[in-house]
Amino acid sequence: RETATRTPTRQSLEIQTQQWRKDGKLAQRELTRDGVLVRSESFDYDLRGRVIAHRLHGEDLPQDAHGHPYREQHFQYDALDNIRRLETVFADASANNVSVFGYNPADLTQLLSVSHSRADYPAPVTLEYDALGNLKRDERGNPLHYDALGRLIGVTLPTGERRW
């Protein structure tokens, strides 16, 4: 099992160290640059082995999907291991964001909706699927395209450009 990684760059030497629990789950991870600790992370799990908390300290924090650096994330799941709720605590001490995920009652693994508590986050998203269970549009409303075997082959951007 990997416990440390050394990555020399032109500007610095980064060393990432990891500590593992007896059950094989990641317990802690630290990142140093030139001997200075820049990020320390810890992970908590529930009895089913799902991450329920990710806590961070330091100057080099990750960003959420909307570009906001965060210090903590707390996850809640349903019986099928779908994420139902994600609370993010931000580095700047601004209001937390709570994301709520809704699933199809007829297919409890099919994500139908995502909403956020913060006004500066995207409006609630409702997802739609075709008869084969393929997502029709992504979370930004861009049409998705599939081949005859149901494999995603492209997306049409708002400019009309197709990415394949």
pLDDT at 107: 93
Query: Do 28 and 42 meet the contact criterion of CB atoms below 8 Å apart?
Result: yes
Cα separation of 135 and 143, whole Å? 9
pLDDT at 75: 99
pLDDT bucket at 76, cuts 50 / 70 / 90: very high
Query: Do 108 and 80 meet the contact criterion of CB atoms below 8 Å apart?
Result: yes
Cα separation of 66 and 59, whole Å? 19
Q: Indicate whether 57 and 74 sit together in one domain.
A: yes
Q: Indicate whether 152 and 107 sit together in one domain.
A: no
Q: Indicate whether 39 and 81 sit together in one domain.
A: yes
pLDDT at 65: 87
pLDDT at 4: 83
Query: How many folded domains does the chain comprise?
Result: 2
pLDDT bucket at 8, cuts 50 / 70 / 90: confident
Cα separation of 62 and 91, whole Å? 10
Give CA angle at 72 (67, 73), nearest 5°: 80
pLDDT in tens, 31-72: 999 999 999 999 999 999 999 999 999 999 999 988 999 999
Domain carrying residue 159: 129-164
Residues 9-17 have a mean pLDDT of 91
pLDDT in tens, 83-124: 999 999 999 989 999 999 999 999 999 999 999 999 999 899
pLDDT at 80: 96
Place of tokens 């707390």: 74
pLDDT at 3: 84
- 18 CB contacts (<8 Å, ≥6 apart)? 2, 3, 4, 26, 28, 29
Q: What is the CATH number of the domain that holds 110?
A: 2.40.128
Q: Residue 98's closest CA among 72, 63, 128, 130?
A: 72
Element (H, E) at 74: strand 70-77
Q: Indicate whether 124 and 142 sit together in one domain.
A: no
